[in-house]
Each structure stands twice: as structure tokens, then as C-alpha cells.
Structure 1
Amino acid sequence: MKTSVFLSYPKPFTKQQKQFVELLTQYLEKRGFEPRTLGVTDYDMDAPLKAIRRLMLESNGLLAIAFRRSYIKVGISKPKSDISEKENDISDTWLTSPYCQIEPAMAFQLGLPVLILRETGVLADGILEKGVLGTYMPEFSLNNSFDVYFQSSEFLH
């Protein structure tokens, strides 16, 4: 019997994102894992967060892929700040799906092991900041060869 793992990712909107998910899924399956994704391998008529919680309770960990989703061409974080923090230029930055924040936080609260893979350029904010979970957060680029990334020491360790 395979080990169930919750595989979380925003719906791919590029061929590269789709291929990355397919290759990661194959990698996990070859190693005895059963990647489960709500709306892909598992379906539920309940409210999304209830369905996510049910699936997590049936899983042994969570692997989230924080793909690029929304592009900020020109932007400022904390505009017109007049307290102690400065404005931050967040131009030429990507955001991911809010579920890439919600699902890892839910898994952490349930005591599940969590691994987040963040695509290069995605804003490192909230749970996507390095060190928030206390574990290493690999970053990947879809511009590089997937074979090279899946064989890299960063991915394998």
C-alpha cells in the first residue's frame, strides 16, 4: 500500500507548470507515495476547507508547489508607511494562489510534515518566507531543465 501525501498546487496555466506537476507526481509514485490533490484525484461536495481538512487527515504529509499565478508589474507594499516600516518595491514580482498559504498552514497545525517548493520570482511572504516552518524551502525555475532539477542535490536531499 502506498503512502498518501497531499499534493497542493494552483491549477497550472502553462505547459511547463503542467509538466512539472506530472514529473513530480511520477517521481513520488515511483518511490511508494500516493499523491492526492483535491479536484484531481479526490473530489468532495463539501465546502473546500472541510474537504481539504478531510484529505489532510487521510494523508501523511503535505507537499505544496507555489507556482507563479498573478504578476505585479509595478507595485509597492506598505505604501505611504508613516510608522517604523518602509515602503517596499514589489515590482516585477509574482504571487501564488492563496491556497499555497492556507493548505501548508493547515497541515502544520495538524502536525503533518510540510515541504513547500516555491517557483523563482514568487513573493516570499507569509508561510512562503524561508524559515517560517523551520525547514528548508527549495526554489525552482521552470526555465531550467526539469531533469536537471529533479536530479539536483537540492531536490534529492
Structure 2
Amino acid sequence: MKVPVFLSRPTPHLEAQIQFVDELKRELSNRGFDPHTLGPGSSYDYDAPLIGIRRILTHCCGLVSIAFRRTHVTSATKHLGADTAGRTEEPSSDIWFTSPYCQIEPAMAFQLGLPILILREEGVLAEGVLEKGVTGLYLPEFSLEASSSFITSDECRRLLDQWSGYVRTVHKRRGDPPMLFT
């Protein structure tokens, strides 16, 4: 029996993103995992999205999130009009945002105590759970334009090995009876 895991990702809008998701699903499946997502063609739920996400997450033993580029902002200013001590305006340019669900779903998994692995596409704003170290596991950045696949890289394989160990521990412990005394 394959171990259920949640695969969080925005709906791909580029062929390279579709290929990345397919390659990651194959890798997860080869490692004995059964990736679940929310949306048409998968574990679609007609309830409010957060209810459907929670329902799937409570069945899963881990989460992988792919923070693809989704929204491009040419120019932005953080703290626009700042007038407090220690704060100044911070102009930025050429910023990519991902889906807000790439923040929400890992945060929900964290609250359930599930192992989390987040893969962030190069250029996506590293904020919230997309900042390195926030969820505990190393947060790699990948490029869809790289000449070789990130999924088959040593970096990704080592991360998947580490994350897989945590997921298998969750899966094993879910079957253990509760311990009244330790």
C-alpha cells in the first residue's frame, strides 16, 4: 500500500510546469507514495476549499508544495509611505508571486504535525512559509529553464530521502495504539 501525501501546487500555466509536476509525481510514486491534490481531475471536493484541503491533509502523512511562478509584478514598493522610526520604503522590481495556497496548505500541514517539503521556483518571493528555515526543512530553489532536471539532481534526491523518512515515521506511528504511560 502506498503512503498518501498531499501535493500542493498552483494550477500550471506553462508546459514546463506540467512536466515538473508529472516528473515529481512519478518520483513520489516510485518512492512508495500516493500524491493527492485538490482540484478537478484529482481529489476534488465540493465543500469550501479549506474544508476539502483539511479533509485530504488529515488522511495524508506528509506534504510537498511546489511554489511555481504565477503572478509577475514589474515594480512594487514595500512599506509605501512609511513614517515610523526604523521603517523606510523598499522599492523592488521583477517580483514573482505564487498561489496563496502555497502558503495556506503548508501552514495547515504544519498545524497537523505533518512533514513538509517546499520547492520554490527561482524568482518567487521568499516570504512567509517560503522563507528558508521557516518550516524546518531546507527550502530549495529550482529553475524550470535549467538544462538538467531538478527532480533527478542530487540535491532533490537527498531532500526527498530525508523528507521520506519523516513521512514513513508518521505513517508507522499512525497505526500505533495510544500510549497512556510513557
Answer yes or no: same fold by TM over 0.5: yes
* 1:87 Cα deviation from its structure 2 partner: 2.1
Alignment of 1:1-157 (within 5 A): 1-39=1-39, 40-83=41-84, 84-147=86-149, 149-157=150-158
* 1:150 Cα deviation from its structure 2 partner: 2.1
Amino acid in structure 1 at the alignment position of 2:117? L
Q: Is the 8 A contact 1:56 1:107 kept in 2?
A: yes
Across the aligned residues of Structure 1 and Structure 2, the Cα RMSD in angstroms comes to 1.1
* 1:88 Cα deviation from its structure 2 partner: 2.0
Deviations 1:38-59 (A, max 9, x none): 1132121111100000000000
Q: Flag as ranges the 4+ runs of structure 1 deviating above 6 A.
A: none
CA distance in 1: counterparts of 2:53 and 2:148, whole angstroms: 28
CA distance in 1: counterparts of 2:127 and 2:100, whole angstroms: 11
Identity of aligned residues (%): 54
Q: Which residue of 1 aligns with 2:162?
A: none
CA distance in 2: counterparts of 1:128 and 1:89, whole angstroms: 20
Amino acid in structure 1 at the alignment position of 2:37? T
Structure 2 gap ranges (5+):
159-182
Deviations 1:13-55 (A, max 9, x none): 0101111001111111111110101113212111110000000
SS in 2 for 1:51: helix
For the pair shown, the structure with the greater C-alpha radius of gyration is 2
Structure 1 gap ranges (5+):
none
Aligned length: 156
Amino acid in structure 1 at the alignment position of 2:115? P
* Structure 1 residues 146 and 26, CA gap change in structure 2 (3 angstroms): farther
Deviations 1:127-150 (A, max 9, x none): 111111122101100111353x22
Q: Is the 8 A contact 1:20 1:146 kept in 2?
A: no
